[in-house]
Amino acid sequence: MEITLEYWNELAKQTILISSLLSGFSITVVANLLVSDKNDKIFNRILKSATLSAGCFLVSVFAMIQISMMTTPGGYLKNVTADDFLIPRMIGIIAFMTGLFSLSVMISLSGWTKSKKVGIYTTVVGILTLLLIFITMTRISV
């Protein structure tokens, strides 16, 4: 089954929206951690995962913008096929998935700054969140 350019265009627009929101959230976490006085292992790991998440979601946004521009009717390219945007599609998907994984790591690590009980809880929530996201995403054939 061939996926139409209109479908790719809508998929790119939705991914841009989701990635923008998640990138903004991750950047906010990074900014808050940078001004924090804490400087231990767990804070540094949270900072690293938030930074990776923000960067990946930003890459995903720009990869999907390219796909959106290529698939917009009357756009700057004529006679576009799905093969024409294979590289931005792969970069966008890999960056988006890496961003989701990093965001899940950030959620999982956050509770460990408070206590062992809260750390276990946030780790379980982070893992379940990631699993459920990946399960729902595998239902979409891209």
pLDDT at 141 over 60: no
Contact 85, 70 (CB under 8 A): yes
Measure Cα distances from 105 to 98, 111, 129 in Å: 10, 11, 10
pLDDT band for 4, please (50, 70, 90 cuts): confident
| pTM for this prediction | 0.87
How high is the pLDDT of residue 131? Answer: 93
Higher pLDDT, 107 or 75: 107
Instruction: Count CB neighbours of 58 within 10 A.
Output: 19
Render pLDDT for 19-37 as a digit per residue (tens, 0 to 9): 999 999 999 999 999 998 8
